Amino acid sequence: MAGEVARRTVTQLEDLVRDVPDFPTAGIVYKDITPLLADPVAMASAIDAMAAPWLGSAVDFVVGVEARGFILAAPVARALEAGFVPARKPGKLPSATFSESYGLEYGHDSLEIHTDSLPAGSRVVIIDDVLATGGTAAAAARLVSASGADLLGFGFLIELPLLGGRSQLAGLAAHAVMSLGTEQGGD
């Protein structure tokens, strides 16, 4: 993970992530990033740290995963001068879509992307808030592959390494600003 970001250190960013035990279901410790989002200096630092690994990579499109991923992916896209493409929950996109199902840390769901959103051969990065078990990111990756685009890798604000999600990412580059344990309480 990154050492220091532009205007907040990673430790300061970590202090703005709130642990919420037993949300959305018993036994899950939810990582609430809303205190970080509400701090403009922290938010800018986080976005710049997420964009930094891709600045020299000629990224054409940033795919953001609904819904929290949108909050980070849209400013990352701007920082990279790339287009923004939403990967959405079922039934939300109005035109023809590719669809992929995935298992979540809690439950399961699917993701869709417009079939005409990523031209074949375009250079794509997937951005989401948290890398947990990796199921969502892997589904997003399959959507990019179905489009014929070139997936360069992934960026996350938070990685929860104890959940092993990195193993689902096909060995592609995956950057996270912070790496957090899953133990309850703490920060």
Give the active site residues: 68, 105
Q: Which stretch binds a second copy (CB under 8 A): 39-47, 130-138, 147-155, 156-164?
A: 39-47
Show the binding pattern over residues 124-163: x = contacts a second copy (CB under 8 A), - = does not.
----------------------------------------
In the complex, the smallest distance separating the C-beta of residue 33 from a second copy, rounded to whole angstroms, is: 10
Residues 164/69, Cβ–Cβ less than 8 Å: no
Site string for a second copy, 70-109 (x = CB under 8 A): xxx-xx-xx--xxxxxx-x--xxxxx--------------
**Read out DSSP for 57-117?**
S---EEEEETTHHHHHHHHHHHHTT-EEEEEB-TT---S-EEEEEEE-SSSEEEEEEETTS
SS3 state at 30? strand
Task: List the beta bridge partners of residue 113.
Answer: 98
**Prior bond to 67 cis, omega within 30?**
yes
What one-letter code names the amino acid at 185? G
44 forms part of the interface with a second copy (CB under 8 A)? yes
Shortest reach from residue 15's CB to a second copy, in Å: 16
**Which chain residues interact with a second copy by CB under 8 A?**
18, 20, 23-24, 30, 32, 34, 37-40, 43-44, 47, 61, 64, 66-68, 70-72, 74-75, 77-78, 81-86, 88, 91-95, 114, 117
